[in-house]
Amino acid sequence: MTAQRSGCPINLTLETLGDRWSLIVIRDIMFGNRRHFRELHGASDEGIASNILADRLKRLVEADLLSRAEDPSHKQKAIYSLTEKAIQLVPLLVQMGAWGRRHLPVSREMSVRQELLEEGGPALWDAFMDELRTLHLGVPAKGPSVLARLRQAYEEALAEKG
Amino acid sequence: MTAQRSGCPINLTLETLGDRWSLIVIRDIMFGNRRHFRELHGASDEGIASNILADRLKRLVEADLLSRAEDPSHKQKAIYSLTEKAIQLVPLLVQMGAWGRRHLPVSREMSVRQELLEEGGPALWDAFMDELRTLHLGVPAKGPSVLARLRQAYEEALAEKG
């Protein structure tokens, strides 16, 4: 983040998303449906520190990428939801995953979901975004669950790993 | 950058690309064909500091995203080229631009090239990547220049701005 501004869409996107932790948090909410602080903290392989997690959640709410509400089922707990703006990051995250799968030492179980999304193309991304709108924005469900399909592929890859 | 590692393709991509300056440098080389330190420094609207530019160029060469060679036409000057790995960032940068155009206060002249690329879809991205391979890797040209088309749209938008 910086005081310098330009009207370039790539630059503004990079400024808005901030450092890598913001996208790691969005990834965990989006693909892992982790909605509470405690689920987000400690669960991911990257081991985000609690002060960084707290800061990034605050920034993401300020940037209108997450919304925060009291969870009616858990007193004293906040639940985080993706906004429409964050849901529309799906194609960007798919391309990030596609590039990583091709050029970096990814693990099988962590890349199988990205592989499915990449192969499914824009039609599957749209279906996944619709499902996220159901989960996070309360929009009625339109079709079969993409997340369930991604989760199944992940669990199968994990089982194969042994 | 961190010592923690996970095999997640999104995380590894974020770790490899580092902070936003790395992608700003790649953007300027890719879309502006700025190949020398002096062209990269000061030319962009974001005003990258020379020490940050020097550091990011070094890191990008180490990460195999750029290659560095002495420029035969300018003694004492290095010329930077995109590698195949960096050229394959085109779809990711297009999605970054697409998201920025939709959700952030972009300027017309800085977003018209992203708009063309987004509308052109994967076929245009492939043609653009082929042109980058010609410019940066010495692969023979395959078709008409995409960069020239992008540059023309940019200059028209700049002229309209007045």
Task: Answer whether A7 sits within 8 Å of B101, measured CB to CB.
Answer: no
Q: Which domains does chain B have, with CATH numbers?
A: 1-83 (1.10.10.10), 88-162 (no CATH)
The values of phi and psi at residue B79, to 5°, are -115, 135
pTM tops 0.80: yes
Chain A to chain B Cβ contacts (< 8 Å): 166
Would you say residue B31 has pLDDT above 70?
Answer: yes
Interface residue A112 vs chain B (CB under 8 A): no
Q: How many CA atoms lie within 13 A of B56 on its CB side?
A: 22
Range in A60-64, A69-73, B99-103, B111-115 with the lowest mean pLDDT: A69-73
Model confidence at A74, pLDDT cuts 50, 70, 90, reads confident
Which pLDDT score, from 0 to 100, does residue A5 have?
66
Question: Does an H or E element contain B69, and which?
Answer: strand B66-70
Which pLDDT score, from 0 to 100, does residue B61 have?
97
Task: Answer whether B111 sits within 8 Å of A13, measured CB to CB.
Answer: no
Contacts of A2 (CB under 8 A, 6+ apart): A15, B46
Q: How far apart are CA A24 and CA A53, in angstroms?
A: 10
CB A81 within 8 A of CB A50: no
CB contact residues (below 8 A), chain B span 22-51, against chain A: 23-24, 27, 44-47
CA distance A72 to chain B (A): 31
> Of the candidates B112, B17, B82, which has an alpha carbon nearest to the alpha carbon of residue A8?
B112
Q: How far apart are CA B76 and CA B38, in angstroms?
A: 12
Rounded mean pLDDT of A59-88? 91
Q: Per-residue pLDDT tens for B90-145?
A: 999 999 999 999 999 999 888 999 999 999 999 999 999 999 999 999 998 888 89
Which pLDDT score, from 0 to 100, does residue A132 have?
96
Task: Answer whether B45 sits within 8 Å of A6, measured CB to CB.
Answer: yes
